[in-house]
Amino acid sequence: MKPYLKKQVTNNNLWRPYVYYWNTFPGRWPFVEPHFHPEFAIHYMVQGSMLFSLNDEHILASEGDIIFIQPNTVYSITPPTDLIGMKNYHTFIFDSDFLCGSVGASCYTEILSPIIQNQANFSCVITKDHPYYEEIQTSLENIVSAAKIHTPLLTLLIKSELLRLFYFVLEYGDHHKSTTSNQSLKNLQPVLSYINKNFEQNITLEQLANLSNLSVSRFTTKFKQIMGVSAITYVNQVRLKRACQLLITTNDPILNIATVCGFNNISNFNVLFKRAVGCSPHDYRKRYSSADNK
């Protein structure tokens, strides 16, 4: 998938090696579909609970929990259907080059490199009963505060706090050899790229299987194993996310938006939209387009 930090985030031609987001649910985007990226990600729950699905695990992260995602890990974030109320969390994404110094240093070759190359598992959740929770939480809160302002001096502070944070996580964790295959993710790249570029068209399992050089049955099994959802569900999630964007940024009729996003049946679109977002397309537009225009 596309990197978050493809040296596109610049300030006076200087690369910013991280990006920070404040996330609110319910909000403009109802979910984060299964995806992966070459950067590290840290998510810190501030209020409520969110369901993180990664590496065939489903983690219900609650207030105070800190979730670490290593590069090229497929994961999704969705609000639990049985837990209502506001949900807020910080997201900090950073390039592995920002974390590392000399590649010849033992801390890189023996500790960081296996994690970056997915040769050792690092993705984990830190809860309040972790023996170094307070130290990790303090470092993360310092990182978030500095990332909101962003100056060269504060970037130095962020790097130092990241290294401190990694030390406390690694000091107590069991980071064994990874069973995730980067090659499996690479094999899906043409499929994911095709879906994201052509979601408005009719997409069949046969087309996607051909792109991956697999039979349809083998492809459907492999896709769900890696991405955590079926190929058809993923296609619909991409379409629904685009529909959300168009609903709050245009005045186009809902029928036109459904068609442009690849839904040939308005009733099916309405059902899938309400199931994923929690309200009808009309109510979603009324709620969020009016908020954006204030």
Q: How far from 54 is each of 100, 165, 293, CA to CA, in Å?
A: 25, 21, 36
- Whichever domain contains 16, its CATH number is 2.60.120.280
Per the document, the length of the chain is: 294
Amino acid 153: pLDDT: 92
Same-domain status, 106 and 210: no
Same-domain status, 212 and 95: no
Instruction: With respect to residue 4, please indicate whether it lies within any of the assigned structural domains.
Output: no
Domain end marker among 139, 172, 205: 172
Same-domain status, 25 and 163: yes
Instruction: With respect to residue 84, please indicate whether it lies within any of the assigned structural domains.
Output: yes
Considering its fold, how many domains does the chain have in total? 2
Buried b (16+ CB within 10 A) or exposed e, 211-229: bbebeeeebbebbeebbbb
Instruction: With respect to residue 211, please indicate whether it lies within any of the assigned structural domains.
Output: yes
Task: Note down the domain range covering 68.
Answer: 10-172
At 28, which amino acid appears? R
Q: By CB neighbour count within 10 A (0-12 exposed, 13-18 middle, 19+ buried), where does 274 fall?
A: middle
Instruction: With respect to residue 2, please indicate whether it lies within any of the assigned structural domains.
Output: no
Same-domain status, 168 and 201: no
Same-domain status, 40 and 144: yes
Instruction: With respect to residue 5, please indicate whether it lies within any of the assigned structural domains.
Output: no
Q: How far from 91 is each of 84, 86, 174, CA to CA, in Å?
A: 21, 16, 24
Q: pTM for the whole thing?
A: 0.80
Task: Tell me the two tokens of residue 261.
Answer: 């996003």
Same-domain status, 103 and 232: no
Domain end marker among 123, 143, 172: 172
The pLDDT confidence band at residue 3, using thresholds 50, 70 and 90, is low
The pLDDT confidence band at residue 221, using thresholds 50, 70 and 90, is very high
Same-domain status, 249 and 155: no
Q: How far from 283 is each of 123, 125, 164, 247, CA to CA, in Å?
A: 37, 35, 45, 10
- What are the pLDDT digits (tens) for 64-100? 999 999 888 888 898 886 656 788 999 999 998 888 7
Q: Is the pLDDT of residue 8 over 50?
A: no
Domain end marker among 172, 197, 228: 172
Residue bearing the bigger pLDDT, 207 or 5: 207
Instruction: With respect to residue 177, please indicate whether it lies within any of the assigned structural domains.
Output: no
Same-domain status, 167 and 194: no
User: Positive or negative, the Cα torsion across 51, 145, 135, 176?
Assistant: positive
User: What are the strands of the beta sheet with 18-25, ordered from one edge?
Assistant: 18-25, 87-94, 40-47, 66-69, 124-126
Alpha helix (H) residue ranges in the chain: 96-99, 106, 113-116, 133-149, 152-172, 182-198, 205-211, 216-227, 231-249, 254-260, 266-277, 281-292
Instruction: With respect to residue 22, please indicate whether it lies within any of the assigned structural domains.
Output: yes
- Whichever domain contains 285, its CATH number is 1.10.10.60
Amino acid 12: pLDDT: 44
Amino acid 178: pLDDT: 47
Same-domain status, 146 and 26: yes
Task: Tell me the two tokens of residue 43.
Answer: 């998510």
Same-domain status, 165 and 255: no
Which residue is associated with the tokens 């070459």?
A: 38
The pLDDT confidence band at residue 2, using thresholds 50, 70 and 90, is low
